[in-house]
Amino acid sequence: MSGLAEVPVFEKRLLVTGGAGFIASHVVVSLVKNYPNYLIINLDKLDYCASLKNLETVSEKENYKFIQGDICEPDFIKQLFETEKIDIVLHFAAQTHVDLSFWHALEFTYVNVYGTNVLVAAAHEANVEKFVYVSTDEVYGGSTDEEFDESSPKRPTNPYASSKAAAECFVQSYWERYQFPVVITRSSNVYGPHQYPEKVIPKFISLLQQNRKCCIHGSGLQRRNFLYATDVVEAFLTVLKEGKPGEIYNIGTNFEMSIAQLAKELIHLIKKTSSESEMEHWMDYVKDRPTNDLRYPMNSEKMHNLGWRPKVPWKEGIKKTIEWYKENFHNWKNSEKALEPFPVTEPFAQLSGP
């Protein structure tokens, strides 16, 4: 007996960025539980929408490591790849709130484009074996009936979507120039526990749970496709295993509803009413966003061919989500602020960049 503690040797070392946020926290929890031979390193700046409570079930596990840090700091990121010997990257960290992006466009460009470039450059230098960049259906811009596939042109209409599209170009260029194995995903709206209540589903749920009205932007006729968090986790695990280098994958669903319909559905479930006039009482139509795409119909056949399909029915997913927010609305210290119809913000944000 040497008396020295045994240092675990991991088969792979996987870096997840933004793992204290909504989607990536579900991904981290699943990876830590299902891949005990992988070390899962969660890099997160802990911005306002992050919560370490999202990771409570895995925080003490041997194959989990949290590092607080910023993807926009090149020296730190370079060193991270050197010291942690990363094999695979799943890049989720981003500024994600469309409403906020209209007022903070430069900050979105800085984090989403510059930060992604810093990360992919460091990953390339470190010879990482796979780099997954998590993008969005919003890069396609709105459509009424044209169904987007992965070769459809990018026509973003808001600063958030533009920054995600621009970041995709940087990532893709590493494949074109160096055959560096990048994979890009574009997913529909995701819902479920852990989402900061600035986004529409947790916002409407939380407002109704506090006996306040759902604030509907504009006409409420805009339609969105919603995927439950665990289905999206399955999609990322599929892309990790089966995703081909240089490829783009739509992660979508045919399940779609308008924002006004969504409000009615939540009023029905939370306020236990089906009367039109009572429903109207809980709906408050406010001014619209500067631009608000009508629909993002997407074809996800490429993902289906990899063996993935969404499984969780809306009724089941939304019930679990409503239950979760009853107990966890205060997981973020500024949750109340998230319930304003539009972000409460200074008109000219200070840009803390280089």
Ligand X SMILES: NC(=O)c1ccc[n+]([C@@H]2O[C@H](COP(=O)([O-])OP(=O)(O)OC[C@H]3O[C@@H](n4cnc5c(N)ncnc54)[C@H](O)[C@@H]3O)[C@@H](O)[C@H]2O)c1
**By three-state DSSP, how is residue 2 classified?**
coil
The residues near 93 (Cβ < 8 Å, ≥ 6 apart) are: 17, 18, 21, 24, 43, 44, 45, 71, 111, 115
Nearer to ligand X, 197 or 282 (CB): 197
Among 66, 196, 204, 308, binds ligand X (CB under 6 A): 196
- Using CB under 6 A as the binding rule, whether residue 101 contacts ligand X is answered as no
Residue 18 touches ligand X, criterion: CB under 6 A: yes
Active-site residue flag, 138: yes
Question: Of 87, 138, 150, 234, which residue is the catalytic one?
Answer: 138
For residues 106-145, which are near ligand X according to CB under 6 A?
111, 115, 134, 136
CB closer to ligand X out of 190 and 214 = 190
Find the part of the chain contacting ligand X (CB under 6 A) among 65-73, 81-89, 301-309, 342-350.
Answer: 65-73
Asked if residue 187 binds ligand X (CB under 6 A), the reply is yes
Residue 71 touching ligand X (CB under 6 A): yes
Q: Which two tokens stand for residue 52?
A: 């370490």
Q: 265 catalytic, yes or no?
A: no
DSSP 209-277: HTT--EEEETTS--EEEEEEHHHHHHHHHHHHHHPPTT-EEEE--S-EEEHHHHHHHHHHHHH----HH
Distances (CA, A) of 339 to 51, 141, 317: 17, 26, 22
| Residue 95 Cβ vs ligand X, minimum distance, rounded to whole Å | 6
Q: Is 242 in the site for ligand X (CB under 6 A)?
A: no
> Side-chain half-sphere of 205: how many Cα atoms within 13 Å?
25
Q: Does 14 bind ligand X (CB under 6 A)?
A: no
For ligand X, the binding residue among 94, 100, 113, 208 (CB under 6 A) is 94
Q: Rule CB under 6 A: which of 206-225 touch ligand X?
A: none
Closest CB to ligand X among 195 and 213?
195
* 284: annotated active-site residue: no
Give the orientation angle of helix 22-34 with respect to helix 229-242, to 10 degrees: 60
Smallest distance, ligand X to C-beta of residue 167, A: 9
107: helix, coil or strand?
helix
**Residue 187 burial (C-beta neighbours within 10 Å; 0-12, 13-18, 19+):** buried
- Position 200 contacts ligand X (CB under 6 A): no
- Alpha-carbon distance of 90 to 233, in angstroms, equals 12
* Position 44 contacts ligand X (CB under 6 A): yes
Task: Name the residues that contact ligand X, by CB under 6 A.
Answer: 17-18, 20-24, 44-47, 49-50, 70-72, 92-94, 96, 111, 115, 134, 136, 164, 187, 189-190, 196
Positions marked active-site = 137-138, 160
